[in-house]
Amino acid sequence: MKKSIIILLLLVGVIGQAQNKKWTLKECVQYALENNISVKQSELDVEQAEVDKLTAMGNFVPSLNVSSGVSENTGLSFNPLTNNAQTTTFLSASGNINVGYTIFDGLRNIRRLQRADISRLSSQYRLDKMKDDISLFVANGYLTVLLNKANLEVLISQNEVTQEQIKQTKELVDAGSLPRGDLLEIEATNASEKQQIINAENNVRISLISLAQLLLIKDYENFDIEDEGYNIVDDGVSGRDVSEIIAAAKENRSEIKIAEEDVALAEIDLKIAKGVNWPTISAFFGYNTRYADSPGFSQVIDPDNPTVTQQIGTVEDTGQSVVATFPNTIPVEVPADPFIDQLYLNDGIGYGLQINIPILNGFSTKANVQRSRVSLERAKFQLEQAELDLESTVYQAYVDAKGSLKSYEAAQSALESQELAYEYAKERYDVGLTNAFDFSQSKLRYDNAKIELNRTKYDYIFKLKVLELYFGIPATELKF
């Protein structure tokens, strides 16, 4: 009984730890990369590219096909050995081995293998881009939760101050030092703050659910994140010149690599289309054999009448007949040869070369070449556009990061000023030199300054990480 209680307590502890688990940003990103459906689909695209490469490699291997068949014939049939029609019942079998090999096909097999390599690389770049996008989505959702939690802490902390002010003001009102209107003003402020706390709690819950849905976690009730230890960590990227960041983005970002591989694919497709104009040379080799259990016939000398005399001509001058003696043979049925012997005696081999020269095919080859050339030009334009888009996006991210830093610094200065103003208003209110309304307005401005600082802080953190990602830092190595 004691042992069972200990085991039960351990299980309860383990379940409690699982329910109280707080996810770090790194854990969320890693979990999303392992479980996100879009990432899994991109991984399947990479596997499909590997299969396409295997198919392209198979074009360099000779084709080998083996076939065999067994049949039983009854009635009038053609004997597969003698090719004579006969009425009987017999069992027959045949076997074939055919080998084919393409010697030259306008280098299309080589181009297809090159295309498979490029396609596989392009699929990997698309997977990398998908992982970067998912990582940013998760980071943005995570920072949104942190912001909502920080705002909730500010509201709760300031409401605790309001509660103390209510208690203090009530004592002064009871003592006749302050009018009752001051108490009502602070109580109204308290009610408003409690409503704000409820809204902030809802924002935290909603942002947590949104993040859990992004991670495909269904246990919304017990999902929570680690909300401490996330500060502004700048590895120096924000201090670099924007042209340096743009150059690094063009070299490292998957968007450019995907567009470059699309150009390479279009170039290979054009070469494949042109290769159809070349002759195709192939070699072949075939081996076949057959067996039948039908009896055969053999001519043997008649033991009862071994010879026969027949006229073979006449003498022209005398008209005398010329006769000769011949062996007298009769047909005798003999059993079929053994299976192995027939396979050896009835086999055949065929081999040779074949050349196919395209001359006229309804302009389809010419049309395919022109179509591939158009696709190549389109891919080049898309690469150029991708470079322009990336340059614009990086520049915008650079400006956003710089602007959000200035907003954060301004929010810090504003908070310091509002804090001094709040302390001054509190001191004046405590000695009765200002009314409750003016004090509540000062406190409201101080609360808003704290919330604005939180917003600008996490906004700058996110935009800074976006800039670092464009600079080439992997999403899983971003520091917070």
Q: Where are the beta strands (DSSP E) in 131-257?
A: none
pLDDT at 157 over 70: yes
The gap between the terminal CA atoms of the chain, to the nearest Å, is: 49
pLDDT of residue 298: 64
Percent residues over pLDDT 70 in the chain: 90
Mean pLDDT highest for which of 284-288, 304-308, 309-313, 320-324? 284-288
For residues 411 and 416, what is the distance between their CA atoms, to the nearest angstrom? 9
Q: Which single residue is written with the structure tokens 């150059």?
A: 247
The identity of residue 156, as a single letter, is I
**Total residues found in the chain within this entry:** 480
Sheet holding 85-104, edge to edge: 63-78, 85-104, 280-292, 348-356
Please, which pLDDT band fits residue 297 given cuts at 50, 70 and 90?
low
List 98's β-bridge partners, or say none. 65, 286
Percent of the chain with pLDDT over 90: 29
For the ranges 38-52, 415-429, 449-463, the maximum mean pLDDT occurs at 38-52
pLDDT tens-digit map of 32-91: 988 888 889 999 999 999 999 998 998 889 999 999 988 887 777 666 656 666 666 778
Q: Which candidate, 271, 316, 285, places its Cα nearest to that of 106?
A: 271
CATH topology of domain 19-61+105-278+358-477: Outer membrane efflux proteins (OEP) (1.20.1600)
- Look at residue 16 and tell me whether its pLDDT is greater than 80: no
Where do the structural domains in the chain lie, given as residue ranges?
19-61+105-278+358-477, 71-101+279-295+338-357, 296-334
- To the question of pTM greater than 0.85 for the whole model, the response is no
- For residues 77 and 426, the model is more confident at 426
Give the CA dihedral 72, 75, 78, 80, nearest 10 degrees.
20
Q: Which pLDDT does position 12 carry in this prediction? A: 37
Four-CA torsion 370, 375, 377, 382, nearest 10 degrees: 170
